[in-house]
Amino acid sequence: MNETLLHAYAPLILWTGLGLLLFRFMPENFPRLLGRGLYWVGVPLQVLGLARSTDFSKNSGVAPIVTVGALGLGFIVAWLSLQVWKYFAKSKSNQPTDVLSRSFIGSFMLAAMLGNTGFVGLAIAPSLISDSSMSWVVFFSITHNLIAPNGVGVLIASYFGRPLQKNHWWVQVKDVLSVPTLWVFAIGFLTRNVPLPETIESGIQGSLAIVIASAFLLIGMRLAQLKGWKSFKLALFPSILKVVVMPAFVGIVMTLLGLSGEPRLAVVLMSGMPSALLGLILAEEYDLDRELVASSIILTTLLLLIMIPLWVLIF
């Protein structure tokens, strides 16, 4: 167990620590450029590789349905928890507070709901899940990335990032349709049986390791940018929801529905991945609370190191 966990944690700790150290030597705007590069190139490239290499005949119906159910459950838990927080915040003061601002609400939902199933999930899961059950991990990652960060996440960021007077449903639809990952997945899925030159195909698959390492570097650089502990205090609630409460709920529900063994563990692990880097990119794009999302990414990443052995032991 210890050797398996060490192998799973190594890329996360190594590249995040390197990002923390390198930040002081980088231009001030480098993290934002790296984040934009991952959004427009890295994530689409990863999804393209998965779309072309995944056997969609395995668990083609069950795994995506389970993933959507887990996402729906996560949304409900996050929204209800936010309503409780808003109730107690209002009861303490009659004046508007930052906690109740639209930018905070949008960032709270992004941090508590969107998981890093691509960069972190696909890097850690192979050390804990056998090859025979990895299709559950891949399907969860693809379905989650398409629906959560690039679908629901864009809707949430677009809605809470604009004044109510300028919010119209067609604006949110336009924002979703402009997400590059959705178009790249469609291209990869439709051309998965079309052979590409060996150099291009191997380049796409081989670049995934670079994309994952770059994402961990960005986490470390964002950690170096945080100032003070106030943002961590506010981020503690959505972080616990994301890494502790939601995977526990998902594991219980999956058990009640009859799912067991490694498929159940795969779903629990993926539903408990740290807050998504795309959440931070969306917060920057739509002027939400960036510090809340960045702090949640750090806290959920640290909590993940504690929770993985528990999920492996329980499920």
Q: What is the pLDDT of residues 82-111, one digit of tens each?
A: 888 877 777 766 554 545 788 889 999 999
pLDDT of residue 48 exceeding 90: no
8 Å CB contact between 276 and 252: no
pLDDT-wise least confident of 137-146, 151-160, 166-175: 166-175
| pLDDT tier for residue 2 given thresholds of 50, 70 and 90 | low
In the predicted model, what is the mean pLDDT of residues 10-35?
A: 86
Give CA–CA dist 9/196, Å, rounded.
34
Q: What are the tens digits of pLDDT across the range 51-75? A: 887 766 665 567 778 888 888 888 8
Return the structure tokens found at 313: 């032991």
| pLDDT at res. 305 | 85
Integer-rounded Cα radius of gyration of the chain = 19
pLDDT band, very low/low/confident/very high, at 241 (cuts 50, 70, 90): very high
Q: Dihedral of CA 208/209/210/211: which sign?
A: positive
Q: Which two tokens stand for residue 29?
A: 């705007």
The Cβ of residue 246 has, within 10 Å, a number of other Cβ atoms equal to: 25
Quick one: which of 291, 303, 280 has its CA closest to 149? 280
Q: Are 48 and 207 in contact (CB under 8 A)?
A: no
State CA 82 to chain mean position distance.
Answer: 19
Question: Given the structure tokens 């959705």, which residue do they identify?
Answer: 182
pTM beyond 0.85: no
- The Cα 18–Cα 284 span in angstroms is 23
What DSSP element (H or E) covers 255? helix 246-256
Task: With a cut of 60, say whether residue 252 has pLDDT above it.
Answer: yes
Grouping H, G, I as helix, E, B as strand and the rest as coil, residue 196 is coil
Mean pLDDT within 191-220 = 83
| Helix/strand/coil for 178 | coil
Give the pLDDT score at 210: 86
SS3 115: strand
**Cα diameter, the chain:** 65
Question: Does the pLDDT of residue 166 top 70, yes or no?
Answer: no
In the chain, the domains with their CATH numbers are 2-314 (1.20.1530.20)
